[in-house]
Structure 1
Amino acid sequence: MTPTLPDSLGAACRAVLLAADPMTKVRLARATARAWRRGQLAHRCDVAMPDEPARPARPELLPANRMPKRGRGGSERGRLALLHALAHIEFAAIDLAFDAAGRFGGDFPRRFADDWIGVGADEAMHFAVLERRLRALGSSYGALPAHAGLWEAAAATAHDAAARMAVVPMVLEARGLDVTPETVARVRSGGDETSARILQRIYTDEIRHVGIGAKWFGYLCAAADIVPASHWQMLVRRHFRGAIKPPFNDSARAAAGLTRDFYMPLVPLTSVGSQDQR
């Protein structure tokens, strides 16, 4: 059944964020994307986005330092833990995309919301496919604990669209471009071709998502007559708590518009040296 939606972009995005049940969130995300494409939602961001999205009772959310080690995905147990962790990332990514559209969309041309609503629909599809794969393997989303910190980057950049573009797609999603090809190869070598194809599809979509973030970051820099790479570095230093470290998938990053002059100045010299010795 198609959910009943509010009549504005902001209110519809807020409804997605406030849906705690995973499949309800997926249905609302898809319905919002359809309604937006059909012109059924007014281009108004007239309601505040929540400080935090709603979450289901499970999975149990743990700090990163309390998360159990999941292995490398070679064993059946390790593969289930890997797929569960990725499903949790995609679940959080639904909220990140709709929050970007609903929080900042009123300050941009309509095509900004076109892009981020489309990203949110992709993330909903990714989550649904991973959840279906988990069930086919005898598990489900919520069966294992998950990382509690995925919303931290959204909270840290809620006040600044440039900071949001810099940190969420251009740091967090870009890291997925670095690690996914090796993950696909491991899963495939373990004999799980179905899961490998799912992860390859997600990887292809994420290159485009990083590119959307880089495009709108560039748009903001051009409007303010700011040099993009140095401004990105300043925002990442200010708002991202982690480290920018190799190995990097330079070709995928470049395809998304994230070239080495952005991220290499933030890499510690010891990390550069260790990468050169690989």
Structure 2
Amino acid sequence: MTLHSSAGLAAREVLLTADPAQKVMRARKSTRNWRKGQLEHAFVQDLPDVPARPDHPELLRPGQMPRRGKGTSLKRRIALIHALAHIEFVAIDLAFDMIARFGKEFPREFCDDWFRVGAEEAMHFVLLDRRLREMGSFYGQLPAHDGLWDAARDTAHDSSARLAIVPMVLEARGLDITPDTVERFRQQGDPLTAKVLNRIYNDEIRHVSFGTKWFEWACKARESEPYRHWKNLVKTHFKGGLKPPFNDSARHAAGLTREYYLGIE
């Protein structure tokens, strides 16, 4: 793999890579190159509206997705892990699109944080795909949700909106629901998956904290009040509203205090 000349070019190459294994490799390589000082803090203009996607999984709109149901069967557990693996796969692109699209608006530390996020999302995907293979399945065997990139498309024009919706709403929602999911896998006699999800949960607290940090940085630069501006952006760009219960302790650890989401649910 050749070295890249800039953070923007390296991030764009990740976005243009469809094959999951190759995307993971490029995400890791780009992050190493950035950390070693081999990429300039420079960016490109021609970014894809939608990242490259593999032939499988088949991508369906939310209303077309088959219901997983509840219970302890292996088939249901595989379906849930597959859905989570797809979320992590899309999250790789969300991190690198953040770098390529908005890095020029922020100091270098912004790229430090989002290269780290991108590499960790790649690691999360690998852990979940490996778990699927251990259970006799693989990423791509089942259909997946095609609506996950909608938030990126809707906020491509505004870094504050992207930060408000992707890490501070969508990833924060993962903090709310993952502890119960971890416990469910433990009760179903699957401690290996529970351990993977707990690792992801701890990393996602940090990812949400990066979103909150840079959202507040942008608000300070634009002289806007963070809580009010965030609520306005959520009302504009997030359909359906926020739904409790909220994991207040994890959100607080990420800097997403109740002043943000109190009264907006």
TM category, shorter: over 0.9
**Does residue 60 of structure 1 match 2:58?**
yes
Residue of structure 2 in register with 1:253 after alignment = 251
**Residue 163 (structure 1) aligned to one of 145, 161, 164:** 161
Q: 2:146 aligns with which of 145, 148, 152?
A: 148
Deviates more, 1:224-233 or 1:165-174: 224-233
Q: Is the 8 A contact 1:29 1:124 kept in 2?
A: yes
Which residue matches 1:75?
73
Q: CA RMSD in A?
A: 0.9
Residue 134 of structure 1 corresponds to which residue in structure 2?
132
In structure 2, the residue matched to 1:180 is: 178
Displacement of 1:95 after TM fit?
0.1
How far apart are 1:261 and its partner, in Å?
Answer: 1.5
**Deviations, residues 145-181 of structure 1 (Å, cap 9, x unaligned):** 0000000000011011100000000000000000000
Report the Cα distance in structure 2 between the residues aligned to 1:8 and 1:73, rounded to whole angstroms: 48
* Pairing 1:21–2:19 present: yes
Mapped contact 2:99–2:115 kept (Cα < 8 A): yes
- Distance in 2 between residues matched to 1:39 and 1:246, nearest whole Å: 43
| CA–CA distance in structure 2, aligned partners of residues 166 and 157 of structure 1 | 9
SS of the equivalent of 2:263 reads: helix
Secondary structure of the residue aligned to 1:103 is helix
Tell me, yes or no, if the aligned pair for 2:235 and 2:241 is still in contact at 8 Å: no
Paired AA for residue 25 in structure 2: R
Q: Which residue of 1 aligns with 2:41?
A: 43
TM-score by length of 2: 0.98
CA distance in 1, matches of 2:194, 2:253: 22
Structure 1: unaligned runs, 5 residues or longer: 268-278
Residue 94 of structure 1: aligned partner: 92
Stretches of 4+ moved more than 2 A in 1? 71-74
How far apart, CA to CA, are the structure 1 residues paired with 2:49 and 2:106?
Answer: 21
Question: Residues 79-104 of structure 1: CA distance to partner in whole angstroms, max 9, x if unpaired?
Answer: 10010000000000000000001111
Answering whether residue 126 of structure 2 is matched by residue 124 of structure 1, we say: no
The letter of the residue matching 2:80 is L
Question: What is aligned with 2:225?
Answer: 227
Question: What percent of counterpart residues are identical?
Answer: 60
SS of corresponding position for 1:115: helix
User: Residues 73 and 81 of structure 1 are in contact (CA less than 8 Å); yes or no, is this contact kept in structure 2?
Assistant: no
Residue pair 2:92, 2:122 contacting (<8 A) in 1 also: yes
**Aligned partner of 1:122: which letter?**
E
Letter in 2 for 1:54: A
What does 1:202-217 align with in structure 2 at a 5 Å threshold? 202-217=200-215
C-alpha separation between the residues in 2 aligned to 1:170 and 1:242?
Answer: 15
State the alpha-carbon separation in 2 of the partners of residues 73 and 215 from structure 1: 39
Shift of the 100–259 alpha-carbon distance from structure 1 to 2, 3 Å rule, reads same
1: CA distance, partners of 2:40 / 2:256: 32
Whole-angstrom distance in 1 between the partners of 2:102 and 2:123: 23
> Equivalents in 1 of 2:71, 2:77: separation in Å?
4
TM-score, L = length of structure 1: 0.94
Q: Check whether the contact 2:85–2:139 (CA below 8 A) recurs between aligned residues.
A: yes
- Looking at structure 2, the residues matched to 60 and 4 of structure 1 have their Cα atoms a distance apart, in angstroms, of 31
The answer on whether the counterparts of 2:155 and 2:237 sit within 8 Å (CA) in structure 1 is: yes
Deviation at 1:73, TM superposition (A): 6.0
1:107 matched residue in structure 2: 105
Distance 1:237 1:142 in 2: 34
Aligned pair count reads 265
Q: Contact 1:73/1:82 (CA < 8 Å) preserved in 2?
A: no
1:273 — aligned with what? none
User: Equivalents in 2 of 1:75, 1:82: separation in Å?
Assistant: 11
Cα offset for 1:264? 2.0
Write the distance in 2 (CA, Å) between the matches of 1:113 and 1:28: 16
1:48, distance to aligned residue in structure 2 (A): 2.4
